[in-house]
Amino acid sequence: MKRNKAIILLAVSILSGTSAYSGGFSLKGTTWERAAASAACKPDPLLLYSLALQESGHAVKRGFVAPHPYALRNEPSGAHYPETLDDAKSALQRYIAEDRLTDIGIMQIN
């Protein structure tokens, strides 16, 4: 019975074009909303946030993750999450010296 309810909820959600969980999470008034609004293509703020979470997500406390503004990643050293901007600048020099294809920052641009 619970499985049928879940399937019905999912179907209604898909057909209505809304998320079954949309009431509990909002990016209204955030940097993500402002960035989306200022872009020429007007992406959904949730898409931007989701990409950042996928690319630089890091545990902030037990059970929670968030995009990390100073994330670094390359093939030789892997992922690194500096605590401060100064630490990130220092680590960035080392990472780029190891591999020019270093992913940098919250969206992991290289």
Contact 81, 74 (CB under 8 A): no
Q: Of 109, 103, 105, whose CA–CA distance to 88 is shortest?
A: 105
Question: How many whole angstroms separate alpha carbon 67 and alpha carbon 55?
Answer: 8
- The string of DSSP letters for 69-100 reads TT-EEETTTEEE--SSHHHHHHHHHHHHHH-S
The pLDDT, as a whole number, for residue 24 is 73
Residue 47 within a domain? yes
Residue 82 within a domain? yes
For 48-86, write each residue's pLDDT tens digit.
999 999 999 999 989 899 999 999 999 999 999 999 999
Question: How many whole angstroms separate alpha carbon 58 and alpha carbon 80?
Answer: 10
Q: Of 30, 55, 60, whose CA–CA distance to 107 is shortest?
A: 55
The pLDDT, as a whole number, for residue 33 is 96
Lowest mean pLDDT among 2-6, 90-94, 106-110: 2-6
Residue 17 within a domain? no
Residue 40 within a domain? yes
Residue 19 within a domain? no
Q: How many domains does the chain have?
A: 1
Residue 99 within a domain? yes
Domain that holds residue 33: 25-104
Residue 2 within a domain? no
Residue 71 within a domain? yes
